[in-house]
Amino acid sequence: MKLLCEGISRRFFRNGKNTNFFNAVEKTFFELPEGAVTEIVGRSGSGKTTFANILSGLLTPTEGVLLIDGVDFFSLPDEKRSQFRNKNIGIVPQGQTGLSSLTVLENVLAPAFMYGDGKEKESLAKELLSQMDLFELCDVYSNELSGGELRRMSIARALINSPKIIIADEPTGDLDDDTTRLVLSLFRKKADEGASVLIVTHEHDALQYADQIYRMEKGVLSKEG
Ligand SMILES: Nc1ncnc2c1ncn2[C@@H]1O[C@H](COP(=O)(O)OP(=O)(O)OP(=O)(O)O)[C@@H](O)[C@H]1O
Ligand SMILES: [Mg+2]
């Protein structure tokens, strides 16, 4: 699935002593190709998460159009949009997320249950959890997990519906070197199988897994090299 950004920007209102509007993401044209790993690097506060959230369909842009396989994503009605996102876009958010009243296995299966095929996906969920080295924590409540374990759980959850688009915001930020390699090679494999993969990263090691690298600087995205 091809994802295309046409003139997308995002304006925020900064609510402080001196309130003012500013563009967290300036007008951007960008394409996320199929079968490739694209990475975005850049300093803290430069607009990477804001941009990733727009591409994930979680945050509406102030202007511009997001085309997914030619469909104007933000013009879809709310329900269609979340259905489409749930089915086709695997999102690893920057913050820690997990439903604490659910076990690790149930958390991973949650996106699948939205379609009612959660039961059939149980073996896939367990396989993903094994790949993330979390199998023995399947039945533990997610509020008992460490930061890195939660991160790995959210990676398994992002992959449960075999998404054609994967958007991961600093997915290895709190992981050790070996686990980082494990996660990045899994994303690499998904891209080789045809997925469009976007990784926001600070990690130097991550760069060797990328087919193309962009840098975000004060809301301006430009291609590296
Ligand atoms: N909801 C919001 N309202 C107002 N300002 C916001 C909001 N979200 C983000 N910002 C501001 O937009 C800018 C970009 O934030 P963003 O989270 O996109 O940065 P980032 O590049 O992901 O940073 P980091 O590497 O620290 O995660 C920051 O200055 C931030 O304070
Ligand atoms: Mg961020």
pLDDT digits 0-9 by tens, 75-117: 999 999 999 999 999 999 998 788 889 999 999 999 998 877 7
Query: Residue 116: what pLDDT?
Result: 72
Ligand 2 centre to CA of 205 (Å) is: 18
CB 212 within 8 A of CB 191: no
Q: How far apart are the first and last CA of the chain?
A: 25
Cα–Cα distance for residue pair 87/130, rounded to 1 Å? 22
Here the CATH number for the domain that contains residue 134 is 3.40.50.300
Structure confidence at residue 225 as a pLDDT band (50, 70, 90):
confident
* Helix H or strand E encompassing 7: strand 3-14
Overall number of domains in the chain: 1
Closest CA relative to residue 121, chosen from 129, 113, 131: 113
pLDDT digits 0-9 by tens, 124-156: 999 999 999 999 999 999 999 999 999 999 999
Ligand 1, atom nearest to 170 Cα: 27
Ligand 1 pocket, residues with Cβ under 6 angstroms: 12, 14, 24, 42, 44-50, 94
Residue with tokens 């962009």: 214
Nearest CA to ligand 1 atom 25: 44
Distance of CA 89 to the CA centre of its chain: 8
pLDDT digits 0-9 by tens, 27-37: 999 999 999 99
Q: Could you tell me the two tokens for 211?
A: 């087919």
Q: Could you tell me the two tokens for 156?
A: 């398994």
Ligand 1, atom nearest to 47 Cα: 18
Structure confidence at residue 202 as a pLDDT band (50, 70, 90):
confident
CB 145 within 8 A of CB 107: no
Cα–Cα distance for residue pair 161/125, rounded to 1 Å? 10
Query: Residue 205: what pLDDT?
Result: 77
Query: Residue 72: what pLDDT?
Result: 96
Cα–Cα distance for residue pair 150/92, rounded to 1 Å? 11
Query: Residue 102: what pLDDT?
Result: 94
Query: Residue 29: what pLDDT?
Result: 98
What is the domain range of residue 38? 3-223
pLDDT digits 0-9 by tens, 173-182: 889 999 999 9
Average pLDDT of span 220-225: 92
Q: Could you tell me the two tokens for 21?
A: 């509007």
